[in-house]
């Protein structure tokens, strides 16, 4: 990933925000550690008022930051390279709609509350050593943070979710370098493990295509899905292709043959076990080796 600085997104931002410029310059060092940087300047009233006034100066600036799909929140990227990224997030007062999925991402993450008040829920990833599908999230904490406070999450093992903004809130979000090739996704209601998604761009595109095939019930994709389920280098993509194919297929014999092939040949024990369990549930009268 190339090094990108977004501070010059607006012509005058470099001159107006020496605090942010200073943070970016410091962060570009190879040994950058957010925990060692003095963030107190971002909680000073002068900086906060200057920031708010700047963002609301013109509709043009605001429209560049606000998503077309959500006028109550925006994110202003400040800097990004392969080691970390820094962005400023804004959210209006209110309860956030619950997502169907809670994700333990592949990066360490830190939220710094610049202005406002926000409620966070923290979950711990209980990873099963026997079967990945026995993994689950456990809620470990709920807390309310105000300006000058911060919260961190460790990659994969924790999931920190903002649930309600008690006031209009500005936060700095600092994301560290990728520490895993996958993100762990859990059902937000049951907290049970659902699947892995890739942090690799090419693999993510394959996963996105799988979701499109399933959404449109694309039976023409079955042979391609069979190839992916057998030959793709990422085991979680292989298994995603298997489940997508079975959900699309109208032929139970074809389903059984695919699962048997995966159970016998896949290089990953967890995938073989999942195929075996699927065979037992789908075909209880067929003997599974």
Torsion angle in degrees (nearest 10) through CA of 98, 124, 107, 32: 120
- Write the CATH number of the domain with boundaries 4-179: 2.60.120.10
Please list, in sequence order, all residues whose beta carbon lies within 8 angstroms of the beta carbon of residue 103, skipping any fewer than 6 positions away.
159, 183, 184, 185, 186, 197
**How far is the C-alpha of 76 from the C-alpha of 86, rounded, in Å?**
9
Indicate whether this model's pTM tops 0.75: no
User: CB 133: neighbour CB atoms within 10 A?
Assistant: 16
Q: Give CA separation, 170 vs 87, 130, 147, in Å.
A: 11, 42, 9
Q: Would you call 4 helix, strand, or coil by DSSP?
A: strand
Q: Which two tokens stand for residue 99?
A: 């997502």
Q: pLDDT tens per residue, the chain (289 residues)?
A: 455 555 555 445 556 677 777 776 776 666 666 556 666 677 677 777 777 677 666 555 555 555 444 557 877 777 777 777 888 888 899 998 888 889 998 888 889 898 899 999 999 999 988 788 889 999 999 999 998 898 989 889 999 999 999 999 988 888 877 888 889 999 999 999 988 888 888 888 898 899 899 999 999 999 999 999 999 999 989 999 999 999 999 999 999 999 999 999 999 988 998 899 899 989 988 887 6
């Amino acid at each position: 990933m190339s090094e990108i600085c977004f501070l010059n997104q607006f012509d005058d931002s470099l001159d107006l925000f020496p605090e942010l410029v200073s943070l970016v310059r410091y962060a570009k060092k190879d040994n950058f550690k957010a925990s060692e940087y003095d963030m107190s300047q971002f909680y000073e009233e002068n900086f906060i008022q200057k920031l708010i006034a700047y963002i609301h100066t013109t509709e043009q600036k605001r429209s560049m930051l606000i998503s077309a799909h959500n006028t109550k929140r925006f994110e202003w990227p400040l800097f990004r390279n392969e080691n970390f990224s820094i962005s400023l997030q804004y959210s209006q007062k209110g309860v956030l709609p619950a997502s169907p999925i809670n994700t333990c991402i592949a990066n360490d993450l830190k939220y710094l509350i610049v202005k406002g008040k926000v409620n966070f829920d923290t979950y711990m990833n209980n990873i099963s050593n026997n079967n990945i599908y026995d993994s689950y999230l456990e809620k470990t904490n709920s807390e309310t943070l105000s300006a000058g406070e911060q919260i961190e999450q460790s990659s994969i093992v924790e999931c920190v979710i903002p649930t309600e903004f008690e006031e209009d809130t500005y936060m700095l979000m600092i994301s560290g370098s990728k520490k895993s090739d996958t993100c762990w996704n859990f059902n937000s209601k049951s907290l049970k493990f659902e699947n892995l998604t890739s942090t690799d761009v090419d693999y993510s595109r394959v996963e996105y295509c799988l979701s499109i095939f399933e959404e449109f019930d694309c039976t023409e994709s079955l042979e391609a899905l069979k190839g992916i389920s057998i030959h793709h280098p990422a085991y979680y993509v292989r298994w995603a292709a298997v489940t997508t194919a079975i959900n699309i297929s109208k032929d139970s014999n074809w389903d059984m043959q695919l699962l048997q092939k995966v159970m016998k040949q896949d290089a990953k024990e967890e995938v073989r076990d999942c195929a075996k369990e699927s065979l037992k549930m789908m075909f209880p009268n067929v003997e599974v080796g």
